[in-house]
Amino acid sequence: MHELGITENIIEIALDYAQGQKISRITLAIGQLSAILPDSIQFCFDACRLGTPLENTLLEIIEIPGLARCRHCGTEFAIAEPFGICECGSMDLTLIQGQELQIKELELEQLCV
Q: Is residue 20 part of a domain?
A: yes
Q: Which domain holds residue 59?
A: 3-65+98-109
Residue 105 has pLDDT above 70, yes or no: yes
Q: How far apart are alpha carbons 107 and 5 in whole angstroms?
A: 22
The answer, yes or no, to whether residue 69 has pLDDT greater than 90, is: yes
19: helix, strand or coil: coil
Give the integer Cα–Cα distance in Å for 99 and 3.
Answer: 15
The number of distinct structural domains making up the chain is 1
Does residue 41 fall inside a structural domain?
yes
Q: pLDDT band for 113, please (50, 70, 90 cuts).
A: low
Q: Let me know if residue 105 belongs to a domain.
A: yes
Distance, CA of 96 to CA of 67 (rounded, Å): 5
Q: What is the pLDDT of residues 33-60, one digit of tens each?
A: 999 999 999 999 999 999 999 999 999 9
Q: Supply the pTM of this predicted model.
A: 0.86
Q: Is the pLDDT of residue 99 over 80?
A: yes
